[in-house]
Amino acid sequence: MNRYSLVLLILYAVIAAMSVWKSDWNWLIVMVIGIAVVCAPMRATGDRNTGYDQRLMGIAVIPLVAFIVLFTANLFLDIQYYYPASIAIQAGTNMALGMMIAVIMNARTEVSLSRRWTVMFALTFATGMSMVNAFSTVYWMSITGFPLHNDDFTNTLENNVVNMMLMLPMAVTTFATIVYAVVLNRYLKRVDPLLSRFCPGGRT
């Protein structure tokens, strides 16, 4: 196995363990998907040394390291905005996974996505994954006694607070993915407009 894939798999495993420890099932789901995506080129080719381009895996590493730093800091500092920051970082992780999925589709199927469509696919994947956060938020609120139905609300403020909590994952993800998409599009345009070097198949 090439070292870049190994680093990613280790980071995914570490964050998965952290997620189980804190019962953060959203991050656990993303990590399981990440492991599957990193292993996909190896399964497709039958070669454990086959992986994505190191630049693409470097992009994937950044939000993972950022989350580990945020998670560790929150243990000691109890960061007030930990949850929205976690969602924003998770959006970056999902953007990277979306790019990997798009790239392997380009390499292994008849689908041919341009640079802009690859970024758009990654953005769509990330925003779609934010629904996982939304559903888990609804579940958490239901088991902790938050009012969810119109008949349960006692005042307008209570209604507004619940609506803000439900919309937070999608709102943060939408804003974050737009920023990430602009940055990634410019980066890809500079390093490899045709995405030829990002396709899995070479040894690294």
Question: What's the pLDDT tens digit per position in 53-83?
Answer: 888 889 999 999 999 999 999 999 999 999 9
Q: Which residue range forms the structural domain that includes residue 183?
A: 53-195
| Distance from C-alpha of 81 to C-alpha of 62, rounded to nearest angstrom | 20
pLDDT band at 203 (very low <50, low <70, confident <90, very high): very low
| Distance from C-alpha of 39 to C-alpha of 5, rounded to nearest angstrom | 8
Establish if 12 belongs to a structural domain.
no
pLDDT at 192 over 80: no
Share of the chain above pLDDT 90, in %: 47
Establish if 67 belongs to a structural domain.
yes
Q: How many domains does the chain have?
A: 1
Mean pLDDT of 159-182: 86
Establish if 71 belongs to a structural domain.
yes
Establish if 180 belongs to a structural domain.
yes
Share of the chain above pLDDT 70, in %: 85
pLDDT band at 38 (very low <50, low <70, confident <90, very high): very high
Establish if 99 belongs to a structural domain.
yes
Establish if 43 belongs to a structural domain.
no
Mean pLDDT of 95-115: 85
Burial label, 181 (beta-carbon count in 10 A; 0-12, 13-18, 19+):
middle
Question: What's the pTM value of the predicted model, to 2 decimals?
Answer: 0.86
Answer with the residue of higher pLDDT: 2 or 146.
Answer: 2
Establish if 123 belongs to a structural domain.
yes
C-alpha atoms less than 13 angstroms from C-alpha of 72 in its C-beta half-sphere: 8
Please report the pLDDT score of residue 104 as a whole number: 85
Residue 103 in 3-state DSSP? helix
Mean pLDDT of 104-117: 81
pLDDT band at 202 (very low <50, low <70, confident <90, very high): very low
Please report the pLDDT score of residue 187 as a whole number: 86
Establish if 179 belongs to a structural domain.
yes
C-alpha atoms less than 13 angstroms from C-alpha of 41 in its C-beta half-sphere: 27
Place of tokens 């099932």: 25
Mean pLDDT of 135-162: 68
